[in-house]
Amino acid sequence: MPAGTGASGRAGPRLATSAVYLLLRLKVLALPPDTCCEMKAQRKTLNPKVDESSRSKTGMHTCPSCSSELVQPVRWFEHGEGQWHVDLRCPDCEWWGRGVYAQGEVDRYDEELDRGAQALMDDLRSVTQANMEDEADRFAAALATDCILPEDF
């Protein structure tokens, strides 16, 4: 029987776990850098009070209530030619807004959302690299102090 197999000839849990980890790592690394994910978080406010009158002077991405630059689109649809009906939500103060916006304003908002998504991806990459470097350093230190033995594999 090959090493790492049980009496049934199947891979043991350690080998199976490593294979799953490798498959997940390969799948994650194969994703394009501009991946869009849909979040399914429940609303904190079940019946939000929607403000249809106030708008931020600096753009759709800025909350008119608390000035946060994290305003998120919740729902949108075309509202005539060159117009969009957009529902917005601020995660910081739970402000909800609704309005009809021109195509140019929506395009600027979309660019701001893309910049924010890219900043998140850059932060994720740097944190991942720092974590991997730390893990490699700890592994090397464990090897150097004979804390890892052949029977650990």
What pLDDT was estimated at residue 96? Answer: 92
SS3 83: strand
Give the per-residue pLDDT at 115.
93
CB 88 within 8 A of CB 68: no
Q: Is the dihedral of CA 127, 131, 134, 140 positive or negative?
A: negative
> If DSSP codes are grouped into helix, strand and coil, which group holds residue 132?
helix
Average pLDDT over residues 18-38: 44
Name the 3-class secondary structure at 50: strand
Instruction: Read off the tokens for 135.
Output: 């893990």
Mean pLDDT of the residues in the chain = 77
pTM of the model: 0.57
Q: Which position has the higher pLDDT, 142 or 12?
A: 142
* Residue-wise pLDDT tens digits, 60-103: 999 998 999 999 999 999 988 899 999 999 999 999 999 999 99
